Amino acid sequence: MKPADLQDLRSGPLDAREAHVNRLLDRVREHGDESAIAALHVLVRDYRDFHRSLYSRAMNHAAVFADPGLQEPLLAALDDTRYNCQAWAVMGCAAMDIRAAVPQLVTLLDHPQWIVRDESVKALGRLGDASVVPALRPLLADQADWLRAHTADALAAIGGDAAMEALWQEFELRRFSRIGYLASTLAQFTPEVVPRLLATADSPDPDQRYWAAVALGSTGDDRAIPTLERLQATDRGKTVFDGEVRAAAKKALRTLRRIQAAIAARETAQA
């Protein structure tokens, strides 16, 4: 490691040190520069010796210099409220696949800072530990729409029966009027979820039919076509936000066909 790399991180105006972090990241991206990697690893290992702005700037791009050997300082930073870079430590744990961080990430779901909660949800989704589904599930009812959406994404990324049931229960409850994030994430559980969505498309509730149509379109599944065509042709129902079921079905059919076309093109290219 070049001594100047560390010196430029430790001294001088803050904006110059921040610019140096950017240069180190560029050197790794463009050339795999070992000296730059070593300097960034020191920044993570000895994070308390460096300004928080440098740490957060580096951890925004942690995948660039990922190393499982940084687990110990990353876990320490997760609990370090004085240094106050927990959200960026979470990013690092996700980028470096630090599965030992899962218990701490679960505790951070109640953190007072929104960014820590948000990054913890996204990290749990990326790490894919099915044991955290019960901890994530209540966040589907959070008042913040962005947190509900990111929680749905995390559950879809984790996958499995428990995650699908959590999403499905919220889909049926429909506590919020606009639940496109639930429709799109449930579609990722194709083919298992398709029969449920088809049954919901026959619900007496136009809101349920509307969102079932949206989800069916995102599955790309042939079984959805007759139901979507029927809804488009005959359903005059309207949702609580004045959305039309037939319009949702029409758009869903276009989405389904785009998905099928993209799959066909990919298969042709592979062949």
Indicate left, alpha or beta for 233 from its phi (over 0: left) and psi (-120 to 50: alpha): alpha
What is the distance, to the nearest Å, from the Cα of residue 90 to the centroid of all Cα atoms in its chain? Answer: 13
Tell me the sheet residues that pair with 131. Answer: none
Percent of the chain whose pLDDT exceeds 90? 96
Domain of residue 264 covers 190-271
pTM of the complete model beyond 0.85: yes
Please state the rounded mean pLDDT for residues 154-169. Answer: 98
Residue 125 has a CB neighbour count (10 Å cut-off) of 23
| CATH code for the domain of 225 | 1.25.10.10
Please state the rounded mean pLDDT for residues 107-124. Answer: 98
192-244: per-residue pLDDT in tens?
A: 999 999 999 999 999 999 999 999 999 999 999 999 999 999 999 999 999 99
In a domain, 116, yes or no: no
What confidence score (pLDDT) does residue 152 get?
98
What confidence score (pLDDT) does residue 271 get?
81
Contacts of 167-170 with C-beta under 8 Å, sequence gap 24+, read 167/140, 168/193, 168/196, 170/140, 170/141
Q: pLDDT tier at 2 (50, 70, 90 boundaries)?
A: confident
In a domain, 250, yes or no: yes
In a domain, 233, yes or no: yes
In a domain, 139, yes or no: no
Query: Looking at the 3D structure of the chain, how many domains does it have?
Result: 1
What confidence score (pLDDT) does residue 1 get?
63
In a domain, 196, yes or no: yes
In a domain, 211, yes or no: yes
